[in-house]
Structure 1
Amino acid sequence: MQITVKAHFNKQTKDSKKEGLQFYLKGEDEKRPELNQMTRSVVLLSISGVDVELTAEFKKTSKDSKKTVLDFEVKGDASAAQTFEFYKMAGADVELAIKESQMSLEEFHAEPREGVRGKIDKDGTVTVDPNQSELPL
């Protein structure tokens, strides 16, 4: 599922582990039921006119009498160049596309591990990416 809404890119915050994005919705887009369905899941965010797509957790939706606030969290390992492209749009009215991701919340929050990457098969054998099969000495 993908929805596109007209939003005001309110702010972008960053610390060492995560980055927060906040958008304000007004008007008819506030009433879209798809927003509630995607809350608390991993989504792909894109802004019209920006050639970058960010993977983020759709943290929450909150409403008051004037607006609906959408809060997203991007992991700290996102490319600085990618998030900077989004940051240039902060404070502006944007067309925000929110698309469901195939990634689970557990995968999104998993800490990266060092070492050789591979896949453990059901029979217990390990299949290693051939490009990583040797560790440097």
Structure 2
Amino acid sequence: MSITIKALFNKQTRDSKKESMTFWVKGEDEDREELRALSRSVVTLELDGVDGVSVEAEFKKLNRDDKKTVLEFEVKGGTSEESSSAFYSRSGTDVTLTIAKTGQSLEEFREHQKKYREGLRGKINPDGTVEVEDPNQAKLDFGEEDDPMAGVDSESDVLPY
């Protein structure tokens, strides 16, 4: 299943955990039944004018109000920098967006995202804590002689200096 619509590429955000894209749809494309059918599935996104570049994403949310329909996508982790920057160059403009369903299930997509994020952050423990194993991470080791608070009574209000 595939659909082509006209939309405003509202924003593209990226942080250490995920990358997301938001589109605003107005007019007759808002009422297309295919949009609802594709919601909550894994899709590929293509923009006219960005040749040969597509991005795989989870169609997270479809929000409708009286002025517009908002489409939110979470981009698959590990997407190439070229693809992201090609899409980013069109951010804030009206675009022709093609959304096509992939054969990947949501569970497979989310498992990939979990593994991708684990690789970035370290091991996720069952209790929700994270063990970061970054060889570039600086470590601060204070010996007894280097610790400015060594020998200070924690009950006292007097500072050592």
TM-score by length of 1: 0.79
SS in structure 1 opposite 2:58? strand
Structure 1 position 13 matched with structure 2 position 29 = no
Aligned to 1:43: 43
Q: Which has the higher contact order (CA 8 A, sep 6+)?
A: 1
Structure 1 position 97 matched with structure 2 position 98 = yes
Q: How does 1:1-137 map to 2 (within 5 A)?
A: 1-51=1-51, 52-110=53-111, 111=115
Q: Which structure is higher in strand share?
A: 1
Letter in 2 for 1:21: M
Higher CA-based Rg: 2
Tell whether the 8 Å contact from 1:26 to 1:68 is kept in structure 2 after alignment: yes
* Number of corresponding residues: 114
Q: CA deviation at 1:76?
A: 3.0
SS in structure 1 opposite 2:9? strand
TM-score by length of 2: 0.68
SS in structure 2 opposite 1:23? strand
What is the rounded CA distance, in whole Å, between the counterparts of 2:37 and 2:26 in structure 1? 19
Q: CA deviation at 1:86?
A: 0.2
Please list every run of 5 or more consecutive structure 1 residues that lacks an aligned counterpart in the other structure.
Answer: 115-137
Tell whether the 8 Å contact from 1:22 to 1:69 is kept in structure 2 after alignment: yes
Please list every run of 5 or more consecutive structure 2 residues that lacks an aligned counterpart in the other structure.
Answer: 120-161
Letter in 2 for 1:75: K
Q: CA deviation at 1:75?
A: 2.6
Q: Percent identity?
A: 54
